Structure 1
Amino acid sequence: MFHKGEKIMAKMKNFVDATYDNQNVYLIINNQNEAIMIDASNAAKRAIEYIKQKKLTLKALFITHGHIDHYDGLDNVLKEYPDLKIYIQKIDLRLLSQHKVDDETGEILGPGINYPLTNIVALNGDTVVEEIGYHIEIFHIPGHTAGTQMLRIKALNLVTTGASLMPDKTSPGYTGTMCNDNYFITELRRITNLDAKWHVLPGHNKPFRMAHALAEKVITLEEDT
């Protein structure tokens, strides 16, 4: 949970899908019980149960990128909220047609999404939107996918990475040329200046405070050479 200012308050709740490398579904909730969801893995089902239990109003979903582990639970969301506004980069829309595959047999199990997508907001690069009373800055950072996007909410000192960045280094993270921890740290540097005040919500594994990552020297203020 985090709070910011006297008038603007929020709390964060995350739900973890252990079947997809601890993929996170996040809810950001304002003090009027309105919420946005970030990503929709299988853990979205539990997020919806929480929304109902707490009598929240879900206003929008942000899909950080088009890999199926970040929208595998989208049908659960659309079943309850068929007209929900969904933000995604236009270039990643094609990835929403991926099929589910059995991890053991390789058998194609069917489409990842069965419910109609009636309220897609297809973005073309960087933009700013307003949801649940917050200005949400969206940064298009191709690399993990062509349409990977990061979110920044300055009022909450909150930023999302969309992919894995582990301050405790319990996993090696990504190692591709355009998809690795150093790549995402570079983007964090650009978006947050690595200021200790920021809360970072990665797509996989535990959320963390920048102050902790800096103290543990997982992220350093000096640029790699």
Structure 2
Amino acid sequence: MRDYKWLNEFCLNRFGSAAALESMLPQPRSSDALRAITDDRYLSTLSLRIFRAGLKHSLVDAKWPAFEQVFFGFDPEKVVLMGAERLENLMQDARIIRHLGKLKSVPRNAQFILDVQKEKGSFGALIAEWPEREVVGLWKYLAKHGSQLGGLSAPRFLRMVGKDTFVPTDDVVAALKAQNIIDKAPTSLKDLAAVQAAFNHWQTQSGRPLCQLSAMLAFTVNH
């Protein structure tokens, strides 16, 4: 496994300057900013991520104002009351993406958010408080308690809301394999722990957030 010095030098050589590199890197939100996001916005983003999966993002995004309307602005307390008949009726609404499984996930995730709200005060508190050095645990928590949040959906959702996380995209996985950290896409507890440990090591060396290290690692893969 290479150290952060190598990773930084590789990226500087690729982009030509520190300023050019920095312009390419994402910025995570602070804990206070994550807490400030209201639960309806978390439900909206969670749902957006689910509907984007397997579809062209621009197609889903163009229809999202209609989703906001039919799901009451994603107010969890209203959405959770949507029964099977109402969801079946939405399958006739051409303004939205008519995928019954994904439509059913919205009230289920509304209940998940309300359960967290009851325990933590808000869904944002859960996201903000979870330590980044154990962020794969947050992926697993979301996948276990939420609906349709397996695979890359949980880390991609976290990236969308600004929670600091790495995302095991194809390029990141290829880079991790090149450094012999894993030999396949990380799905097992063992492989996820190995990847988390590698990112924690680079973070300790660099002081950079996980999302920036993730992007830098992806840059080391040639296309």
Larger Rg: 2
Higher relative helix content: 2
Query: Which one scores higher on RCO, CA 8 angstroms, separation ≥ 6?
Result: 2
Instruction: Answer whether TM exceeds 0.5 for this pair.
Output: no
Q: Give me the TM-score of the superposition, normalised by structure 2.
A: 0.24
Q: Give me the TM-score of the superposition, normalised by structure 1.
A: 0.23
Higher relative strand content: 1
